[in-house]
Amino acid sequence: MRVTQTELPGVLIIEPTVFQDARGFFLETFSAVRYEGAGVDGPFVQDNHSRSLKGSVRGLHLQATKPQGKLMRAVSGSILDVAVDVRVGSPTFGRWTSVLLSGDNFKQLYVPPGFAHGFAALSDLVDVEYKCTDYYDPKDELTVLWNDPAIGIQWLTTEPALSARDRAARPLCELMDRLPRFIP
């Protein structure tokens, strides 16, 4: 497997080794020993599966006091997967990075605790599976405005389908008192 550090410390692009032949393919999508050695901290306690239609944007989400690390992958279709550093005091606070994840490229994105996360569905239908390092707690969730101009994410869509929760999201500057703190 190949691991690439993005411009945001701890946010990693993982390209698993894929064995392909005339029958199809095989890949290991997670191995605790191998992934921990590459900087993907566990343990993972929850797996999620999301299906989205083209043009949907999910996010930007994070949990305030029970932060989740997420290991993301698109099983079929494609997404623009986005991580935003929202750790107050971080040298990269408010900066974002993105990667195209698809069922064809097999890439994964590791988003560590303390980062907001979201994705845009680029294909007609996309299935996304991801592992989380903590349990989902709706009372602890923060939702950052998907198109916050202070962040400036280039989503590849201008009029996305959003959930009611994402439509009601607030800009990052209005969430400062609830955001995680950077620990050097």
Which residues are annotated as catalytic? 61, 130
Amino acid letter at 173?
C
Using an 8 Å Cβ cutoff, are 175 and 144 in contact? yes
Q: What CA–CA distances, in Å, run from 180 to 23, 36, 64, 103, 147? A: 47, 23, 6, 32, 20
Cα 114 to Cα 132: distance, rounded to the nearest angstrom? 13
- Cα separation, 15 vs 3, whole angstroms: 6
Q: Where do the DSSP E strands lie in the chain?
A: 2-5, 12-15, 18-21, 24-27, 46-53, 57-63, 70-76, 78-85, 96-102, 108-111, 115-121, 125-132, 141-143
Q: Are strands 78-85 and 70-76 parallel, antiparallel or unpaired?
A: unpaired
Cβ pair 148, 94 in contact under 8 A: no
